[in-house]
Amino acid sequence: MKNKTRKSVLIIYTGGTIGMVQNPITKTYEPFNFKEIKAKVPELRRFDCKISTIQFSPPLDSTNINHTDWIKMATIIGDNYVKYNGFVILHGTDTMSFSASALSFMLENLQKPVIFTGAQLPIGIARTDGRENLLTAIEIATSEHNSKPSVPEVCIYFENKLYRGNRTVKNSAEYFKAFQSFNYPALAQIGVHLNFNFDAINYIPDHYPFTVHTALDSRIAILKFFPGISKETISLVINMPDLKGLVIETFGAGNIPYNEWFAEVIAQLIERGLVVLNVTQCITGSVEMGKYKTSETLAAAGVINGYDITTEAAIAKLMFLLGKNISRKEIVDAFRKAICGEITIVNT
Condensed to tens digits (0 to 9), the pLDDT of residues 313-343 reads 999 999 999 999 998 889 999 999 999 999 9
What domains appear along the chain, each with residue ranges and CATH number?
7-212 (3.40.50.1170), 220-335 (3.40.50.40)
- Map residue 19 onto helix, strand or coil: helix
Share of the chain above pLDDT 70, in %: 91
Q: Which residue has the higher pLDDT, 174 or 194?
A: 194
Residue 36 pLDDT? 67
Lowest-confidence region among 101-105, 132-136, 210-214, 236-240: 236-240
| pLDDT tens column, 128-143 | 777 788 999 999 999 9
d(CA 249, CA 255): 9
Whole-prediction pTM value? 0.91
Greater confidence, 131 or 182? 182
Distances (CA, A) of 35 to 12, 38, 54, 56, 113: 11, 8, 8, 12, 22
Q: Give me the numbers of helices (H) and strands (E) for the chain, helices first please.
A: 9, 20
Task: Indicate if the alpha-carbon torsion angle 13, 17, 18, 22 is positive or negative.
Answer: positive
Report which of residues 189 and 302 the model is more confident about.
189
Summary mean pLDDT of the chain: 87
**Rounded CA gap, 60 and 132, in Å?**
22
Question: DSSP secondary-structure letter at 251?
Answer: B
pLDDT score of 348? 46
Q: Does the structure show a pLDDT above 70 at 1?
A: no
**pLDDT tens string 74-133:** 999 999 999 999 999 999 888 999 999 999 999 999 999 999 998 877 776 767 777 788
pLDDT at 28: 74
CA distance 10 to 50: 8
- Residue 254 — very low, low, confident or very high, per pLDDT cuts 50/70/90? confident
Cα distance between residue 245 and residue 309, in whole Å: 16
Of 18-32, 44-58, 80-94, which range is least confident?
A: 18-32
Which range of 168-182, 197-211, 237-251, 266-280 scores highest in mean pLDDT? It is 197-211
Has 348 been annotated as catalytic? no
- Looking at 14, 17, 136, 280, which residue is catalytic? 17
State the average pLDDT over residues 212-239.
90
Show the CA angle centred on residue 167, arms to residues 63 and 308, nearest 5°.
Answer: 115
